[in-house]
Amino acid sequence: MEKKKQKRKLSAGSILRTIILIAAIGVFVYSAWNLYKIYHGYHAANVEYAELADSFTSRPEEEKKEDPGESTPAIAPQGETHKEPDGTLIEDADPPVAVNWEELRAINPEIVGWIYVDAEPVINYPICQAKDDEYYLHMTFRRDYLFAGSIFEECMNASDFSDVNTIVYGHNMKNGSMFGMLKQLKNQEVYDSAPYFWILTPKGNYRYHIFAAFNTGAESDVYTLISAGGPESLEWEQKMQSRSEVQNSVPLSENDHCVILSTCTSDSSMRCVIIGKCVSSERPEKTASSTAPGRAETESKTESETEEEPEFEPVEEQEDTEV
């Protein structure tokens, strides 16, 4: 009788161990599948955006090297500076890339610009803009689903970057793609090597001198959109510069046009922001066509619809930052 009981106990123990083993295998397979999806997404994003850059942009300097026998006009030295009559400091340079806007916008007319960061040339992407700030979180410039999504402009900003301050968002990808390398600009040595980024648009090519780099709260006053230049805008700039983790003496003025580059951090309540002011002779100018798609969308809604619309939070990327 005792032997039969022992057999029953052994049998029950074996079943329990088998169940635990099957569950462990299931967890392993599920985790492996999720890791595969994440890293496949990384690879797909890298390939797609690399092909885009190869197809629709060119490097003027490389083109000159390919044809050394052809005489070319003299080019102004990189970083040539002068002051405008109103005292505005101009720091001109040649754009690092040239964009074929006609062909690029034929793919997606919501591509409004192209960003290139001098110190981190891996940040070399089109900028999209939709009627809301959720669409391009996980949609590519071709409007296909991809976790890495797109670099995109705040929907309440004018598409031509003519606002006093314009926000551009991107994911903090673990493999360094998209805005994954943005945090490097908080390093003084990296900043000092090349404190500029570019926003290229169909209307003009704008060079920005970085004057602030720091982490801030998701609901910070960094994200306050200012309607017009003046004492308020200068006060905002000075406040941002005072928070910077990189030391700089970039002069600020009431007439500046600023761009805020924003990405998430490992802390879901915090963001990494890099802020620059336009210092090129070409500057974004307000025109009759300077419209913000999100503003137009909001104005077209009824009051009840507008009240139900959720508030936007800058890019959430907790899934990626935990990898």
Encode pLDDT of 193-212 as tens digits: 999 999 999 999 999 999 99
The answer to whether 226 and 282 have CB atoms below 8 angstroms apart is no
Model confidence pLDDT, tens digit, residues 71-99 = 443 333 455 777 776 667 789 999 999 99
Q: What pLDDT, on the 0 to 100 scale, is given for residue 147?
A: 83
DSSP H or E run through 26 = helix 2-56
Mean pLDDT along residues 22-42: 60
Average pLDDT, the chain: 81
* pLDDT tens-digit series, residues 157-182: 999 999 999 999 999 988 899 999 99
pLDDT at 246 over 90: yes
Q: Which residue has the tokens 């006060």?
A: 235
Q: In 3D, which of 243, 274, 317 has the Cα closest to residue 41?
A: 317
The more confident residue out of 34 and 49 is 49
pLDDT score of 247: 97
pLDDT at 50 over 70: yes
Tally of CA atoms within 13 A in the half-sphere of 158 that contains its CB: 21
Pairing of strands 80-83, 151-153: unpaired
CATH of domain 54-65+78-321: 2.40.260.10
Average pLDDT, stretch 42-61? Answer: 77
Q: Kindly state the tokens that stand for 102.
A: 């006609």
pLDDT, position 297: 62
Closest by Cα among 322, 319, 13 to 149: 319
Cβ-contact 122, 197 below 8 angstroms: no
Average pLDDT over residues 33-56: 67
- Note the pTM of the prediction, 2 decimals: 0.78
* Bigger pLDDT: 111 vs 66: 111
Contact 115, 125 (CB under 8 A): yes
Separation of CA 265 from chain center: 13
Question: Using an 8 Å Cβ cutoff, are 158 and 149 in contact?
Answer: no
| Position 303 confidence tier, pLDDT thresholds 50, 70, 90 | very low
Both tokens assigned to 281: 């002779």
Confidence (pLDDT) at 298 = 61
Q: What is the pLDDT of residues 8-20, one digit of tens each?
A: 555 666 777 777 7
Q: Which residue has the tokens 């991809």?
A: 146
- Helix ranges (DSSP H) in 211-286: 231-242
Can you tell me the distance from the alpha carbon of 109 to that of 102, in angstroms, rounded to the nearest whole number?
10
Q: Are strands 258-264 and 165-169 parallel, antiparallel or unpaired?
A: parallel
Structure tokens that stand for 161 in this block: 């970057």
